Amino acid sequence: MYALILGIESICDIGSHILSYHFQEKVATYKDTISLLAKHQIIPNLLKTKSIKMTDFRNVLIHIYVKIDLKEVHKSVKEAPKQFRQYAKYFQKFLDTTNK
């Protein structure tokens, strides 16, 4: 679960830095980060929709609002590597276009 939390936070931290540096956007929440990444076309809207749920899940894991459903954790852990690779691809694509 801790690795999942770190992965989600890393995506949002990198996204926040991109938004701040390239678009002078300040973000207050992880959801804002994901939404603004889509607004600026760094990630597609479909990935945004999937990722909003990811930020909610991160909050459940961190704050333990409710009893953690280990089936949901397992499902998220199975999906996370693909989703994290997608972010890496879109971040790299964006950075490649801004450094030319």
Please list the pLDDT of the chain residue by residue as tens digits (100 residues): 888 889 999 999 999 999 999 999 999 999 999 999 999 999 999 999 988 888 888 888 888 766 778 888 888 889 899 999 999 999 999 999 987 5
In the numeric block, the tokens 């999937």 are attached to: 50
Q: What is the pLDDT of residue 19?
A: 97
Q: Give domain limits for the chain.
A: 2-92
Structural element, H or E, at residue 94: helix 70-98
- 1, 21, 65, 82 from 70: Cα distances, Å: 9, 38, 14, 20
Q: What is the pLDDT of residue 59?
A: 83
Q: Is the separation of the CB atoms in 15 and 62 below 8 Å? A: no
Prediction pTM value: 0.84
Instruction: Tell me the residue type at 19.
Output: L
